[in-house]
Chain A
Amino acid sequence: MAKIKVENLTKIFGKKPKKALDLLNKNTSKDEILKLTGNTVGVNKADFEVQDGEIFVIMGLSGSGKSTLVRLLNRLIEPTTGNVWIDGVDLAAMGDKELREVRRKKLSMVFQKFGLFPFRTVLENVEFGLEVQGVEKDERKAKAISSLELVGLAGYENMYPNELSGGMQQRVGLARALANDPDVLLMDEAFSALDPLIRKDMQDELLDLQQKMQKTIIFITHDLDEALRIGDRITIMKDGSIVQVGTPEDILTNPESDYVERFVEDVDRSKVFTASHVMKRPETVNAEKDGPRVAMQRMKDTGISSIYVTNRKKELLGIVSAEEVSKAVKENRSLLDIIEENVPTVHPDTPLNELFDVVSTSPVPLAVVEEGLLKGIIIRGAVLAALSSGQEVNKDESTTEASAS
């Protein structure tokens, strides 16, 4: 079952929305309705489902209704009509008390400008959600501290938000949202106020966290690159309506309307996708702990012919092949004796177009390494899959031909 199901969700701003609603049902356009009734259509009959553990990105330019839509999901803005089912319960029909319960336990929100309370310390900010629930002081402190550790802000508990950088403030915002241990995170342009490098770090961190936590995340952004980087699925909005929902690949390869097409036409996928998009979780052995037998077993279990070796900190040491390992087992040697240290590595941010050469000549999967740590591996098929679809490539060729002739 879908975690969140949105049906016919509509918001009309202004007094007496009924007339506007009728017009909307007759497919009158947003501009027309504004002219006829003076009402603004914020969100127009949105329908979508979000699966458990998914990062669902809602994308659109400013004024497209994306921020309104996310506020309809936790009813910071009251919907005019429609339903929001969360775990099968309709949020739109709830009383105040039930709604508060859902907001406290299931939904947390991260804000564009962080929304931190300036008179509260970092710790007190993170405790806020637990405090309003009436959680005991010691317990909420412990939870808040572990939440701060999760986002890498241990040790900053007693500072005030204005003493932190933007990136750190948003980490506090994230920690505050996570402290409640919600099922769903609503992130409203959470990284838009950060400068590009920090933004990228935060995106990576969110993806890392998501691997650990498996929350359902609804992420609002106006930045296509961001959407493609972090989204499992992307919704594109225009004038309050949803124009397309799909995986990043769908959006790129099968834009359903001119609007989407124009959106994505400038995107060269081999530049948008980076190593971190196509890498997968590596099978590894820990040289400080595991011997050749463990390595052998692990390779057998997963059906691979070579395996990466790391130390306890996940720092990449090298690679061993099945052949070498079986020899080592017989000769009773350790993994470090047979390790091949000269392995092809790339950084997670390397764009795909720079990966082609390396991946095509390397006999073993590429190791994706950041600051010495093994983040993932890339197999040849994954790169090709990411680029699969001749469509855009063909189109590019035909235009070059046309201009050449």
Chain B
Amino acid sequence: MSLLPRLPLADGIDAVVDWLKGFDGLFDVPKEFIGFTVNHLSNGLSFIPAWLFIILLTGLAFFATKKRLGLPAFVFFGLMFIHNLGYWSDMMLTLSLVLTSAGISVILGIPFGIWMAKNKTVESIITPILDFMQTMPAFVYLIPAVVFFGIGMVPGVIASVIFAMPPTVRLTNLGIRQVSTELIEASDAFGSTPLQKLFKVQLPMAKKTIMAGVNQSIMLALSMVVIASMIGAAGLGTKVYYAVGRNDAGGGFEAGIALVILAIILDRLTQSFNRQKGVA
């Protein structure tokens, strides 16, 4: 075994990264776009007064759960609690990071999922890539992300997207493939074009599964918040990160609990949207 020379994998990857660095302009467009989105989103969200934001979100929860009281109460007290602890503006930054990452994951993920569902070869190529994206320790993405996009929110979003996108792709693919043959046949037999079939039959049938994927993507994006803070993505993650550095258990838990509250609100809200519409 030791007779074989060590494979220069690390050197190879470095070379690829260096080579890609040469195409500076290539990364400017996504960088500008993501930066623009995150900034405007966080500015917009911070512009809303806290009391109004709390009322709006509580109201949304109230209607999304068909006028039950549990979730609205949780949203109201949870947000009041975060505000009370003084993490409001950090939460807004985190929220905009999560929403941007999840949004990009969905916008890219659903078309890829559809493509996979339509084409077996594509499926067999994308599946291992998704496995790679999900199992590779998320810290590793931070390195090239910094090289290409500098530090701050943008590389944080990029790393989150890579980590958070796979469930949306996978579940879109699964949802479309699960549509029963008879419904596909019905759609074909009445002379649907492939696009009509997709939009009138496959996507509506797969909607619940796709939404489950979107929900997962949001949760994964949220789980990247602390990691992304290591490369300067501001928000609740930074607070946790600092607390770790200062061995400050109290501060760490405060920010952590704020993250948990945010996670539960996002999770329950997206789930209730999913339940609300489809007629089972």
A residues touching B (Cβ–Cβ < 8 Å)? 71, 74, 76, 100-105, 107-109, 111-119, 128-129, 131-133, 160, 162, 176, 180, 186
Is B201's CB within 8 Å of the partner chain A? yes
CA distance A118 to B186 in the complex (A): 13
Q: Which residues in window 163-207 of B have CB below 8 A to A?
A: 182-183, 185-193, 196, 200-201, 204-205, 207
CA distance A189 to B196 in the complex (A): 26
Residues of B within 8 A of A129 (CB): 190-191
A74-B189, A113-B182 known; 8 new pairs, CB 8 Å cut-off, are: A115-B182, A115-B183, A115-B185, A117-B204, A118-B279, A119-B279, A129-B191, A176-B190
Q: Are B200 and A131 in contact (CB under 8 A)?
A: yes
Question: Closest chain A residue to B279 by CB distance?
Answer: A160
Which of A100, A102, A128, A180 is within 8 Å of B200, CB to CB? A128
Which of B186, B192, B193, B196 is within 8 Å of A111, CB to CB? B186
**Shortest distance in angstroms between A107's beta carbon and chain B's nearest beta carbon?**
7
Is B22's CB within 8 Å of the partner chain A? no
Question: Closest chain B residue to A124 by CB distance?
Answer: B200
Residues of A within 8 A of B204 (CB): 117, 119
Residues of A within 8 A of B8 (CB): none
CA distance A125 to B109 in the complex (A): 30
Residues of B within 8 A of A119 (CB): 204-205, 207, 278-279
Contact with A along B268-280 (1 / 0, CB 8 A): 0000000000111
Q: Are B186 and A115 in contact (CB under 8 A)?
A: yes
Which of B188, B190, B205 is within 8 Å of A180, CB to CB? B190
CA distance A71 to B204 in the complex (A): 25
Question: Closest chain B residue to A131 by CB distance?
Answer: B200
Residues of A within 8 A of B193 (CB): 100, 132
Q: Are B192 and A132 in contact (CB under 8 A)?
A: yes
Which of A101, A117, A176, A186 is within 8 Å of B191, CB to CB? A101
Residues of A within 8 A of B191 (CB): 100-105, 129, 132-133
Residues of A within 8 A of B280 (CB): 118, 162
**Shortest distance in angstroms between A350's beta carbon and chain B's nearest beta carbon?**
37
Q: Are B200 and A108 in contact (CB under 8 A)?
A: no
Question: Closest chain A residue to B183 by CB distance?
Answer: A115
Q: Are B189 and A132 in contact (CB under 8 A)?
A: no
CA distance A162 to B280 in the complex (A): 8
A117-B201, A117-B204, A128-B200 known; A103+B183 contact, CB < 8 A: no
Which of A108, A112, A113, A162 is within 8 Å of B190, CB to CB? A108
CA distance A129 to B190 in the complex (A): 5
Residues of A within 8 A of B192 (CB): 100, 132
Question: Closest chain A residue to B182 by CB distance?
Answer: A115
Q: Are A117 and B196 in contact (CB under 8 A)?
A: no
- Please name the 8 residue pairs, one residue from A and one from B, whose CB atoms are nearest each other, closest first: A104-B191, A115-B186, A103-B191, A109-B189, A129-B190, A100-B191, A115-B182, A132-B192
CA distance A104 to B191 in the complex (A): 5
**Shortest distance in angstroms between A163's beta carbon and chain B's nearest beta carbon?**
9
Identify the interface centre among A100, A116, A162, A180: most chain B CB within 10 Å of its CB. A100
Question: Closest chain A residue to B193 by CB distance?
Answer: A100
A108-B189, A119-B204 known; A132+B182 contact, CB < 8 A: no
**Shortest distance in angstroms between B196's beta carbon and chain A's nearest beta carbon?**
5
Residues of A within 8 A of B207 (CB): 119
**Shortest distance in angstroms between A105's beta carbon and chain B's nearest beta carbon?**
8
**Shortest distance in angstroms between A244's beta carbon and chain B's nearest beta carbon?**
28
